[in-house]
Chains A and B, each alone.
Chain A
């Protein structure tokens, strides 16, 4: 073994990135500063670092309060004990929901409370994402082309196995939330948390219920409904909230939580989801309790 051997030189990319992060000693720094190629690589790494470090929107205060309160309730600090120990107002106000058995109702998408927060976030996204009505720079409106996926009829027929529609039509009262129940194809693991009282979803939020856009015949109507939602959300002071068993939304990977309920012409009840990409938005109507698409509309290049 030759102890005089120098350690293997660092990869130039590693040197450049470590330089940006201030992780090099003086000798190594000098090496970078005297090497044009390494400086260029360091600049590239710095640019990436600055992009990733870009600030994110602050977490809403009410979401922060609920996350903290739920975490405390999950530990050995009950709300009552917290109050006795001089707990904060937030802690004292935390829902006395910590089950005695130690089971915690998480503030997650699989439980109604997170849906409140998620939808509030989704509402903001939708305003930007549902680009269907924004005038372009020439003052013209973007043309929305939407299409049925072709799978809708078959899926709609199958929907009898899902949660049955109340049979209402497009005239169904706006703002109506899904009435009740879970779809038969809802996995037990995700269905279980839906049991908490619907009141959880809107408690203290002062938010409006998840809107119902009525009966949707095809993807064109789905896109149109999204346009209306954009206007409704933009003009509403409060975010829509799922007041019933909205438990599956985030299981549809890539899509946000539901922004509305809708019904297909043959009575299949679904949720309207939005997926936002850098080049456009996709709007989907999925059968309640699953990610099965009933209709999909897309906008973008």
Chain B
């Protein structure tokens, strides 16, 4: 199989049982799948979980892919569902004791000298965490994955108008969160929109 083989070529070979082709197909898309999951979940561990689930779903579902959507769109749909599932699982996890209130009871010293890159990343994660999952998915698929509205509509199985509305509302909220009172950003619990 040539290095520049198309997704369609790799798909056909993978369906014929060529592990190497499936391997290449996954590697071709894993970085963007992971980036979407990273922005959706807000942390590396959950993103790795969701990415793993997404790749497994792709492998197991490849024979059911019917070609109506592009392969890339289909993979993003699988990945988005994996991310949303991960967020639902996270919401069910117990958090006994380790509440914001408990942590905030502890007296604090001066502001931390965080590496600027990490601080910015956290600021974005915190802002994204303020969005409902469905809004976040639309914004992330647009801004991280670079899908157009029609593709996002296919991935999320929504009308294009709803996608546009969610992206607009999501960005409005993000603008507020990113520019908001710094006190509002203090250690927001992950995954609590």
B-contacting residues of A (Cβ < 8 Å)? 10-11, 13-14, 16-18, 21-23, 44-45, 47-49, 51-54, 56, 58-59, 63-64, 67-68, 70-72, 74-77, 81-83, 85-88, 90-91, 104, 106-109, 114, 117-118, 121-122, 125, 128-129, 131, 134-136, 142-147, 149, 151, 155, 219, 250-257, 275-282, 284, 286, 290-293, 296-301
Contact B95 A254 (CB under 8 A): yes
Evaluate contact between B43 and A86: CB separation under 8 angstroms.
Answer: no
The interface of chain B, by Cβ under 8 A from chain A, is 17-20, 22-24, 26-27, 30-31, 34-35, 38-39, 43-46, 48-49, 51-53, 55-56, 58-60, 62, 90, 93-98, 102-115, 118-124, 126-128, 139-140, 142-144, 148-149, 164-165, 167-169, 171-172, 174-175, 178, 182-183, 185-191
25 CB contacts below 8 A, A to B, read: A17-B167, A23-B149, A49-B142, A54-B124, A71-B26, A75-B22, A75-B56, A75-B60, A77-B59, A104-B56, A106-B56, A107-B48, A109-B49, A117-B44, A134-B112, A142-B112, A149-B106, A254-B98, A255-B98, A277-B126, A282-B187, A284-B103, A292-B97, A300-B109, A300-B187
With A68-B26, A293-B102 given, name 6 new contacts (CB 8 A): A14-B164, A23-B164, A51-B178, A71-B26, A108-B49, A299-B112
Decide: A68 and B186 in contact? CB cutoff 8 A: no
Q: Which partner residue on chain A sits nearest B86 by CB separation?
A: A108
Which residues does chain B contribute within 8 Å of A143, judged by CB atoms?
109-110
Q: Enumerate chain A residues within 8 angstroms of B56, measured Cβ to Cβ.
A: 70-71, 74-75, 104, 106
* A18 to B93 alpha-carbon distance, docked (Å): 37
Whether A282 and B106, one on each chain, are in contact in the complex, defined by CB atoms closer than 8 angstroms, is yes
**In the complex, chain A residues whose CB is within 8 Å of the CB of B30:** 59, 64, 67-68
Partner of B175, one of A48, A87, A290: A48
Considering residues A104, A279, A290, which has the most beta carbons from chain B within 10 angstroms of its beta carbon?
Answer: A279
A70: B residues at CB distance < 8 A = 52, 55-56
Are A52 and B26 also in contact (CB < 8 A) when A121-B44, A142-B110, A279-B112 are? no
B168 touches A56 (CB 8 A): no
A154 to B49, CA, bound (A): 34
Q: Cα distance A214–B62 when bound, in Å?
A: 49
- Give the nearest-CB partner of B14 in chain A: A77
Contact of A52 among B44, B107, B108, B174 (CB under 8 A): B174
Q: How far is the CA of A151 from the CA of B39 in the complex (A)?
A: 35
Kindly state the separation between the CA atoms of A22 and B147 in the bound complex, as whole angstroms. 11
B19 in complex: contacting residue of A82, A136, A286, A290, CB < 8 Å: A82
Greatest chain B CB density within 10 A among A21, A281, A282, A293 is at A21
A78 to chain B, nearest CB (A): 8
Find the A residue at minimum CB distance from B106. Answer: A298
Chain A residue contacts of B186, Cβ below 8 A = 277-280, 300-301
B178–chain A nearest beta-carbon distance, Å: 6
The docked-state distance in angstroms from the alpha carbon of A90 to that of B178 is 41
How many angstroms between the C-alpha atoms of A253 and B48 in the bound complex? 15
CB distance from A276 to the nearest CB of B (A): 6
Contact yes or no, B22 A72, CB < 8 A: yes
Given contacts A14-B168, A121-B44, A298-B108, contact A107 B52 (CB under 8 A): yes
How far apart sit A143 and B178, CA to CA, in the bound complex (Å)? Answer: 28
Q: Which chain B residue has the least Cβ–Cβ distance from A66? A: B52
Residues of A within 8 A of B139 (CB): 52
Q: Which of A86, A129, A278 contacts B185 (CB 8 A)?
A: A278
CB < 8 Å: which of B97, B126, B127, B171 contacts A17?
A: B171
Asked whether B19 lies within 8 Å of A131 as measured between CB atoms, the reply is no
A280 touches B118 (CB 8 A): no
Residues of A within 8 A of B51 (CB): 59, 67
Task: Verify A118–B164 contact, CB threshold 8 A.
Answer: no
Residue of A nearest to B35 (CB): A56
When chains A and B are docked, how far (Å) is the Cα of A147 from the Cα of B48? Answer: 33
Q: Is the CB of B104 within 8 A of A108?
A: no
A291 to B98: give the CA distance in the assembly, Å. Answer: 7
- Give A277 Cβ to nearest chain B Cβ, in Å: 3
Given the known inter-chain contacts A52-B124, A67-B52, A91-B23, please indicate yes or no for A256 contacting B113, CB distance below 8 A.
no
Q: Known contacts A51-B124, A277-B185, A277-B188; is A121 also within 8 Å of B45 by CB?
A: yes
